[in-house]
Each structure stands twice: as structure tokens, then as C-alpha cells.
Homo-oligomer: A and B are copies of this chain.
Amino acid sequence: MKIVIIGASGHGGLCVPKTMCEDLNFVAIAPGSKGENVDGMVRTLHMKGYTPAIYSDYREMLRKEKPDVAIVDNFYGEHAPVILDAFGAGCHVLAEKPVAATMEQLEQLREAWDKAGTAFSTMFTYRYNGAFYRAWNLIQEGAVGKVRLLNAQKSYKYGTRPDFMTRRETYGGTIPWVGIHGVDWILWMSGGRFESVTAVQSAAQAPNGISPETTALAQFRMNDEMMASLTIDYLNPAAAQGHGDDRIRVVGTKGVLEVRDNRVTLINGDGVQHPENLPDEDMFADFLRHAAGKGPCRISGEEVFTVTRAALLAQSAADSGEIICFDR
């Protein structure tokens, strides 16, 4: 399958294998946003032995290369128009999250995807992390009984951030960029659905005081009286062990499970346990298997829409200060 890369601003690099893999045919690359620089990704591809054609216009690239697969990884607030073009060109699409920055965009994507009939997934990378995947498996096995309450935490170091994050239009917002992972964990691990959300956010610590939002909270009321909280910040200190201090705590009727420091702690009738992580898996390989018609991948297109919608509604709740209800 012919693969093109559009943009190089997020985690698209995860699709490039550590060592040259002949099966992966990276035919071309182009920026996906105005002013986006893809030189770093080109260098990475060259170092691995790939020699993609380089385009300045991704639409021209789609027309000329007729790729099977498009990796979409431009500015975080501008994914949707690029994905629409890729669907229009008949591509399977693996896109950086959030796949859309507005509800209108998300509806357009839905329509275009239904029409394209191609494979579609997004970079909810934690589904391929061995600690989070182990946690999800334990919950499926009944290790915590019925899930009642979930607390998700995303905390990142601020470090050096690109200029496009200083504007909502090109960034998209911290809840859909960072918080969306927590939204995904909550839906994935609970197996439930959201009924309403309230949220708060602040960009007080952003260099320009406008964007990105550096702290945020969201609180979800769910079906069957489940509930979930999500905390997000860019204030993880430089001295912290990892870039992210990512956690999910799942409280059930028969036990409590927590992922923290990339390790699972489970407490239930069998005592306090630290189950081994499952192996980390390759997101892109899983997507390519799916695109080749060899079964589902870990994040279905349906889930892409459900989670993205929830993250966008959470951001709307923070923007408006209102309680937002989810229609079924």
C-alpha cells in the first residue's frame, strides 16, 4: 500500500518504524497547514532509508500519488479539512487527534467517511500502551466488578511549544488536544456513555495568556449513575520523571484499579496486586492490518467519532460555562 504523510506537527513519527521496514511504502510527504515545516520528518524518513517525494501542496500530492493510506498530522486545530480531502481521494486515514476542532467539522467528516467507506482511526496512543491495555483487559475480566467512578489525569510538561499553539484556530484547544486521551480512557474503560458534562479551563499561565489553556477540569455524568472526572494541566515540573504524569483510576463494586507511572495497581478480593503490563503494540501496524481488511483495529471509526464529540462538547462546556447534555 502506498502511504503519504500530510503534516508533521504531532505524533506522526510513531508511524515510522525504528528500523527500515520494506513493507512500508512511504511514497510522499507534504505539509498540511499554512506555514507548517515538515523538514524534521523528511530527515527522519531519510535516516531510515525511505525516499519520499516532497510536495508543498498536499492536494496535488493526493492527486498525483493516488495513495492508499494517508497519515494526517498537521496543526492540531486543522485536521478536519485535510482528512476530508484524504477521504475525497479514497484514502484510508490514520489522523492525529482531534480529528475535528468543531462539531460542524465532525459532522462533515462523518458524512465523508460514510461515503468513502475506507478505514479510519486516530492516534489514541494509550490504547497501545501495555499498562493501559492491561488495565482495560482486567476490567473486562471483572477485576473491579461493575465500574462506578473514574478519575483521569493528564499532566504534561510545558517545555517548548510551537507557535501555532498560541491561537485557538490552529491549536484547537487543550481539552481536545490533551484531554481527549482522558475522555477516551473513560469511555473505553467504563464501556459506558456520557449524559452531560461541565468543565472549566484557564490559559492564565500561557505565555500570551490566551492559548494554550494550561489547566482544565471536566466532570461527566454517565449512564447507570456512573460518573467521571478529568483533570488536565501543562504544569508537570521539568524535574518530574517523565513528560507526562498520566493516570486513570477506575473504582468498581468489587475493586479499584489504577494506572500510574506506567504501572497497574489492582486492589480487590484477591488483595493488592501489581499485574504485569501487556506488551506495547504498534499502532500503525494495527491500522494497516485493518486497512488491508484483516479485521478491526483497536480504535474503530465509530469510537473516533464518539470520543471526539465528547471532547468537543467538554470544551464547549468550558467555553460557555454551561452544563452540556449529550443526545444519544
Contact = CB atoms under 8 A, between A and B. Distances in A.
A121 interface: no
Given A205-B148, A214-B148, A231-B151, A237 B219 contact: no
B272 A256 contact: no
Contacts of A251: 155, 215, 233, 235
Contacts of A226: 202
A267 interface: yes
Contacts of A125: none
B204 A224 contact: yes
A76 to B, nearest CB: 22
Nearest to A148: B215
A268 interface: yes
Given A149-B217, A204-B148, A272-B241, A198 B323 contact: yes
A269 interface: yes
Given A198-B198, A198-B323, A202-B225, A149 B239 contact: no
A323 B253 CA distance: 29
Contact of A219 (B229, B269, B271): B229
Contact of A229 (B229, B237, B270, B323): B229
A319 to B, nearest CB: 13
Given A148-B235, A155-B256, A204-B225, 4 more contacts: A215-B227, A239-B269, A239-B272, A323-B323
Interface of A: 148-149, 151, 153, 155, 196, 198-200, 202, 204-205, 214-219, 221, 224-229, 231, 233, 235-241, 245, 251-256, 267-272, 321-323
The 7 lowest CB-CB distance pairs between A and B, nearest first, are A202-B225, A198-B198, A219-B219, A149-B215, A237-B267, A204-B225, A200-B227
